[in-house]
Amino acid sequence: MEAYISDWLNLLVRWLHMIAGIAWIGSSFYFVWLDNHLQPPQADADRDKGVGGELWSVHGGGFYHAQKYRVAPRVLPETLHWFKWEAYTTWLSGMFLLILVYWLGAEVYLIDPSVASLTPLTAIGISLAFVVAGWLVYDGLCRSPLADNGGLFAGILLVLSALLAWGLCEVFGGRGAYIHFGAVLGTIMAANVFFVIIPGQRQMVAAAERGEDPDPLPGIRGKQRSVHNTYFTLPVLFTMISNHFAMTYNHEFNWAILVAISLAGALVRVYFVARHSGRASPLPIVAAVVLLLIVAVAIAPRDTAASAGAVNFDAVRIVVHERCTSCHAASPKHPAFQAAPAGVVLETDAQIVAEALRIHQQTVVTRVMPIGNLTNITEEERRLIDRWYRSGAGASE
């Protein structure tokens, strides 16, 4: 019953996380697009009252006229809409999932003994330290003079992101490392909203309510963090789906793959932001495509047909029973699983042979199984399964 409740929590919170994330990213992308499409106001009256840009658009059968003030209107409207709960809900639900899946299930999803021998408590402490330190380092950089030089600042962030990816992959299993990379970036994005963007907007609103000219600096700082957030978005989205692609996080150079794909995502946003502004160059999108092609070629499976040969099925059966059947059974022995993952049961010879393709794919090609290498499968055992599969995957010699 405990696992059943956990599954429902996972389902509902993951659903909420996805819905809130769509709302946050959608509004963020829209306002970046809107800012980059604003044109000088046509009416003198609008310019006189402080409008700095406007945009006409049509959507859903209606016409819209959006205006942005250079600082603030002389008189605030009675109703003023804020955009913050999308960000907060996305982060809170994401952290709940991090706790539910990767902290409570640290031994399964976070710790890989072949990477680092950690206790669950130590792994959780390191996880929390990475998330907190990521924000503190980033925020410190943003408040330093380095932030005034956009190119230099971007280069420093790239180097620090690479170090973050490498560090995470040195202490956690690949799957846990990737999701924590996204958690650090997602925390930075939400903290930008909570600590910088919204407080700056409150200062501007408070000044306008007092009849004073608002200080434009909080708005400038908020715009800077908002732009950073839009470049973080696609890398974070990749990490959210990365657990489906063991070919990336289980690779020997998983940290470099993570950096390359994240950089490709950021370059895609660079291209589209520039395109919205009418000054797009094809170089960012070309660089993103080249990076993805390089990764695809680098991690492509290598043909090891030469290693094929007659294999004693008794040896294969022993490996499967020792390394796989504790979870892949009608009644799994591992407490994390109430039913066999993906419904795959590997108790009889016939079941093992029937699932030969899946066993080979998961243990040899993607190396995702055993998950977190819970059962300590060896490289020699993986090679044995490879030879068995390539020799016909039969149940006899």
The residue to which tokens 């990379």 are assigned: 181
Largest CA distance in the chain: 89
Among candidate residues 220, 239, 228, the one with its CA nearest the CA of residue 154: 228
Whole-number Å distance between alpha carbons of 247 and 234:
19
- The predicted-structure confidence for 296-312, as pLDDT tens digits, reads as follows 999 987 765 545 567 88
- The predicted-structure confidence for 37-86, as pLDDT tens digits, reads as follows 999 999 999 998 999 999 999 999 999 999 999 888 888 888 999 999 99
Per-residue confidence at 392, pLDDT binned at 50, 70, 90? confident
Among candidate residues 141, 145, 113, 118, the one with its CA nearest the CA of residue 129: 118
Locate the domains of the chain by residue range. Answer: 2-37+82-256, 40-70, 305-390
The residues, ordered by sequence, that sit 6+ positions from 54 with a Cβ below 8 Å of its Cβ are 38, 39, 40, 41, 42, 46, 65, 66, 67, 68
- The predicted-structure confidence for 235-261, as pLDDT tens digits, reads as follows 999 999 999 898 899 898 999 999 999
The residue to which tokens 């971007």 are assigned: 154
Structure tokens at 108: 């399964």
- The predicted-structure confidence for 197-221, as pLDDT tens digits, reads as follows 999 999 988 888 888 888 888 888 9
Average pLDDT over the chain, rounded to an integer? 90
Q: State percent of the chain over pLDDT 70.
A: 96
The residues, ordered by sequence, that sit 6+ positions from 105 with a Cβ below 8 Å of its Cβ are 336
pTM for the model: 0.85
- The pLDDT of residue 213 is 80
- The pLDDT of residue 4 is 78
Q: State percent of the chain over pLDDT 90.
A: 58
CB–CB of 291/264 below 8 Å?
yes
